[in-house]
Amino acid sequence: MDYPSIVCLHSGYQRFVWAGLVFLHVLLSAFTLSLQAQALPQPDHIVIVIEENHAYSAILENTEASYINALASQGALFTNSFALTHPSQPNYLGFFAGDTFGVGNECLDPFSAPNLGTALIDAGFTFIGYSESQPSVGYRVCDESEDYPYAKRHNPWASLSNVPEDSNRPFTDFPSDYSNLPTVAIVVPNMLNNMHDGSIADGNAWLQTNLDAYVQWAQANNSLLIVTWDEDDGSEGNRIVTLFVGPMVQPGLYDESVDHYRVLRTIEDMYGLPAAGESASRTPITDVWQ
C-alpha cells in the first residue's frame, strides 16, 4: 500500500474513532439524565409552605416550634439550607420563577416570565398558590395597609401575568379532600401566622392546625410536604430551615448545600419541566428519597 493510501486510511480511522467517541458521550449523557430522573420520585401532590424571617437555630430545638421539630424528625432536614437574599419578595420570586428580578419589597406591576406554575400547567399538571387572607381569587392589588394581614409581596404568582387568575387563590379555597389538591400547591400564611408579625409559637400552631391532616394523608397517598423560610432575620448568613416530609423521603439530616433555586430545580425535574432562570444552574436533590 502506498504512503498516500496509508495516510488516507489513518485519517478515516481517526474520524471513525472520533465519531464513535462523540456518540458514546451522547449515550452516556442520556443515560446519566435517565438515571437522574429515575432517582427522583413524582409525588401525586406537593404542598409547599413558606414561613418568614427566622434563622435555622431559632426554629430547631425551640420548644415554641415543637410541631415543626416533629416534622423535621420524621423527614429530611437540610442543615445547610440558605435563602437567596434580603428582603422577602425576591426570595419568593426566586423560589417560584428562578429569578429575583433585582427587586426589593416594592409593588410590582404584573409581568411575564417562566415560572413553576405556568410550566406545570403547560405540561398538563396543575398549580395553585393559596394565600391566607387574600381578598379574592385572582387578586393582584398591592395595598398592604388595606389588605393586611395579607401581603402581595409574599405572593409571587400574583406578580406574574402568565399565571392564570384561577391559580391565585385565598387559603379558604384549600380543599379538605386532599385528593382535589393541584399537583403542586404553595401555601403562604398571612403576616400574623407566618412568623413575620406573629410569634414562632403562632406560626407553629397554625401549621399544625392547618396542615397536619394533610401530612397524615400524604403518607398513604404518595404526596409530599415541603416547609421552608423565605429568609433569616440577618443573624445567620441567611441560613434557614428547609424540610421534606412524605412516604418517599428517607428521614435524616442532610448537610449538602441547598437554596431556593435548588428546591425549585428538584420539583421541576420531578415533573419533567424546563428549568426556570437560575434553577438551570442547580442540580436536583437526589439523595433523600427512599
Q: What is the pLDDT of residues 149-188, one digit of tens each?
A: 999 999 999 999 999 999 999 999 999 999 999 999 999 9
Asked if residue 24 and residue 54 are part of one domain, the reply reads no
pTM of the model: 0.88
Q: What pLDDT score was predicted for residue 34?
A: 43
Q: Provide the number of structural domains found in the chain.
A: 2
CATH of the domain at 90: 3.40.720.10
Residue 178: partners with Cβ closer than 8 Å, 6 or more residues away: 45, 213, 214, 217, 218, 221, 223
Distance CA 37, CA 240 (A): 27
Residue 18 lies in a domain: yes
Asked if residue 272 and residue 144 are part of one domain, the reply reads yes
Distance CA 273, CA 117 (A): 10
Residue 290 lies in a domain: no
8 Å CB contact between 223 and 58: no
Q: What pLDDT score was predicted for residue 262?
A: 99
Residue 289 lies in a domain: no
Asked if residue 104 and residue 13 are part of one domain, the reply reads no
Cell of 112: 411575564
Asked if residue 184 and residue 96 are part of one domain, the reply reads yes
Residue 286 lies in a domain: no
175 prior amide bond cis, ω within 30: no
Residue 287 lies in a domain: no
8 Å CB contact between 57 and 236: yes
Q: What is the pLDDT of residues 21-46, one digit of tens each?
A: 445 443 444 444 444 445 899 999 99
Burial string for 102-121 (b: 16+ CB within 10 Å, else e) reads ebeeeebeeeebbbbbbbbb
Residue 61 lies in a domain: yes
Asked if residue 235 and residue 186 are part of one domain, the reply reads yes
Asked if residue 34 and residue 55 are part of one domain, the reply reads no
Residue 33 lies in a domain: yes
Range of the domain at 80: 43-281
Rounded to 10 deg, the angle between the 66-74 and 200-219 helix axes is: 30
Q: What is the pLDDT of residues 188-227, one digit of tens each?
A: 999 999 999 999 999 999 999 999 999 999 999 999 999 9
